A and B are shown apart, each in its own frame.
Chain A
Amino acid sequence: MKKFTALLLTFVLVFSFVGCGAKDTDAKSEGVMTYAEYEAAALESPVVIETYVQAKQSWWEDKATVYTQDKDGAYFLYEMACSAEDYEKLTKGTKIKVTGYKGEWAGEVEVMDATFEIMDGNYVAEAMDATALLGTDDLIKHQNKFVSFKGMTVEDAGDGSAFLYSWDGSGQDGDDLYFNASVNGQTYTFTVESYLCDNTTDVYAAVKNLKIGDTIDMEGFLYWYEGVNPHITSVTVK
Chain B
Amino acid sequence: MKALLRKDFYMSIKYARIWGFSILIFLFVSVWGDQTSLFALYAIFMAGMLPYTLMAYEENCKWHIYCKIFPYSPVQIVSEKYLLTLLSIGSVGLLWVFLHFVHTLGSPESSPFTQFTDLLPLLAFGLIGPSMILPVLFKFGVTRGRMMYYLFIALIFAVSLILFSHEPHFLLNSFLFVWGLLFLFIFSWFLSIHFYKNTSYEHF
**A, B co-complexed:** no
